[in-house]
């Protein structure tokens, strides 16, 4: 699956086997600025899974990653190899 995302005027793509792995890659890519990540495509992700300007960010990511406290970090721990593979696909579009 291919996703497009960015912060401010930048735009990137990432490819992953599933949306959660792509989202984890987006968060890692922008680190401390992850709350500013906008998902552009696919449209379903843009509408349903956005964490743009979420406060607190960790709580919104937990909602997106399964709804329980700590599930975002649990996903990171359990899918390290898949996330690394996705990070290698990142391309700057704009």
Number of domains the chain is built from: 1
CA pair distance 36, 44, nearest whole angstrom: 19
| Predicted local confidence at residue 84, as pLDDT | 98
Query: What residues make up the domain containing 40?
Result: 2-92
DSSP secondary structure letters along 10-51: --EEEE-SSHHHHHHHHHHHHGGGGGG-EEEESHHHHHHS--
Q: Which pLDDT score, from 0 to 100, does residue 70 have?
A: 97
pLDDT of residue 59: 96
- Give per-10-residue mean pLDDT for the chain (94 aa): 95 98 98 95 94 94 96 98 98 97
pLDDT of residue 67: 94
The span from the CA of 77 to the CA of 59, in Å, is 17
pTM of the model: 0.94
């Amino acid at each position: 699956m291919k996703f497009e995302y960015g912060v401010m005027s930048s735009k990137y793509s990432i490819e992953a086997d599933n949306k959660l792995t792509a989202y984890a890659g987006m968060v890692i890519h922008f680190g401390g600025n992850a709350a500013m990540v906008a998902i552009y495509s696919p449209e379903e992700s843009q509408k349903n899974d956005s964490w743009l300007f979420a406060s607190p960010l960790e709580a919104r990511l937990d909602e997106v990653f399964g709804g329980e406290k700590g599930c975002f970090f649990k996903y990171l721990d359990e899918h390290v190899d898949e996330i690394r593979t996705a990070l290698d696909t990142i391309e700057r579009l704009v």
